[in-house]
Amino acid sequence: MTRVLVLNGPNLGRLGVREPEVYGSATLADLVEQAGAWGAQDGLEVEVRQTDDEATLVGWLHEAVDTGAHVVLNPAAFTHYSYALRDAAAQVTKAGLVLVEVHLSNPYAREEFRHTSVVGGVATGTVAGFGFDSYRLALTAVAQRTRR
């Protein structure tokens, strides 16, 4: 079965209470449930994780490379400045695995510092602005890319 790690960066554990007008009222637990169900429909084995810690996120990307898992990544604020995360994400796509960068909001419609993604250039592609549907679309893209 095709494995996908859905990795979430800092403050995404606060979904539901954090700026619901921007990020919606659903929680990370809701995402775990929905992403698992969407993945199953597409024949994907999905595991959702979240951390506020950059080193942990880098380690999970290394794990994806070492275990051959595709990645859906919401780097959250790390998107905009973490070269360490970019370098780790680059290893995923260089290994021939799919890595989709996702965002709940549309960063290009927000503050200027959010207009730069240091991760986007090494991702397979990016989905942003559709709330939880960004993850659903990203999982569909992984399924289509990996289908023989």
Where does residue 11 fall: left (phi above 0), alpha (psi -120 to 50 degrees), or beta otherwise?
left
Question: Cα separation of 148 and 128, whole Å?
Answer: 27
What is the closest distance, in whole angstroms, from the C-beta atom of residue 145 to ligand DQA in the complex? 22
What is the closest distance, in whole angstroms, from the C-beta atom of residue 102 to ligand DQA in the complex? 7
Site string for ligand DQA, 96-125 (x = CB under 6 A): -------xxx-x------x-----------
103 is catalytic: yes
Q: Is 67:59 a contact under the CB 8 Å cutoff?
A: no
Site string for ligand DQA, 3-22 (x = CB under 6 A): --------x-----------
Given the residues 23, 80, 108, 135, select the one marked as catalytic.
23
Q: Is 100:122 a contact under the CB 8 Å cutoff?
A: no
Half-sphere exposure of 127 (CA within 13 A, CB side): 20
115 is catalytic: no
Residues that bind ligand DQA (CB under 6 A): 11, 74, 76-77, 79, 103-105, 107, 114
